[in-house]
């Protein structure tokens, strides 16, 4: 297990709690600010199931970010990680990611896997610095402005 998981962090004033359906209006706002092709409300609602873990990053009661993880047997799939634009670059994404990793380990997962757009340098750098490694690419996985874009597939093995 990489040491970064053992270094769960808490930035001043930022807490992580379970995301609830009542958070969805704010989630959808952040989602539209975060992505060129945002998830719809229906996609988020479909994630409120036993095999999913949804995390909210809050600051003085306000939703500032969220993460969505799907458990498949012993694999945690990070489906979404998003931080309010005004809070980026201050360690909030790292805090939320580390919490999602730590919870996945507690829940008995063996690894976390994710896809990220190859153009998303901020996210790919965060994941790599936290211990993820590239295990493949999915050609044309994402829609982009003019066609399709490849996904990098990254994994973090816990054992
Ligand atoms: C990706 C995202 C979650 C990162 O959150 P963040 O709070 O800004 O990230 P942090 O401040 O915790 O940064 C942690 C590390 O990530 C890397 N990083 C973050 N932003 C970066 C950027 N713009 N360029 C390069 N590296 C960056 C750095 O290594 C940074 O560590 P350092 O500051 O010690 O060098 C955020 O940019 C976001 O919400 N983007 C829109 C949604 C998205 O693309 N999500 C990922 C989908 S796979």
pLDDT score, position 12: 82
CB 79 within 8 A of CB 27: no
Q: Report DSSP state, residue 38.
A: P
pLDDT score, position 5: 54
| Blockwise average pLDDT, block size 10, the chain, 159 residues | 63 94 98 97 98 97 97 98 97 97 98 98 98 97 94 97
Maximal C-alpha separation, the chain: 42
| Residue 126 DSSP SS3 | helix
52 is catalytic: no
The third-level CATH classification (topology) of the domain covering 3-157 is Aminopeptidase (3.40.630)
Three-class SS string for 69-118?
Answer: EEEECCEEEEEEEEECHHHCCCCHHHHHHHHHHHHHHHCCCCEEEEEEEC
Ligand 1 lined by 84 (C-beta under 6 Å): no
pLDDT score, position 10: 82
Q: Which residue has tokens 């600010």?
A: 33
CB atoms within 10 A of CB 89: 10
Ligand 1 lined by 6 (C-beta under 6 Å): no
Q: Which residue has tokens 């930022």?
A: 14
115 is catalytic: yes
Ligand 1 lined by 81 (C-beta under 6 Å): yes
């Amino acid at each position: 297990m990489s040491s970064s998981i053992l270094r769960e962090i808490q930035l001043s004033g930022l807490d992580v709690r379970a995301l609830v359906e009542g958070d969805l209006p704010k989630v959808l706002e952040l989602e539209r600010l975060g992505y060129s092709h945002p998830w719809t409300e229906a996609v988020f609602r479909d994630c409120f199931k036993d095999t999913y873990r949804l995390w909210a990053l809050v600051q003085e009661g306000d939703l500032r970010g969220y993460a969505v993880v799907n458990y498949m047997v012993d694999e945690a799939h990070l489906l979404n990680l998003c931080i309010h634009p005004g809070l980026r670059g201050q360690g909030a994404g790292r805090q939320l990611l580390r919490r999602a990793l730590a919870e996945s380990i507690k829940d008995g997962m063996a690894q976390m896997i994710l896809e990220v757009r190859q153009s998303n340098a901020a996210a790919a750098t965060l994941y790599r610095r936290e211990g993820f490694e590239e295990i493949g690419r999915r050609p044309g996985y994402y829609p982009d402005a003019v066609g399709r874009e490849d996904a990098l597939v990254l994994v973090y093995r816990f054992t």
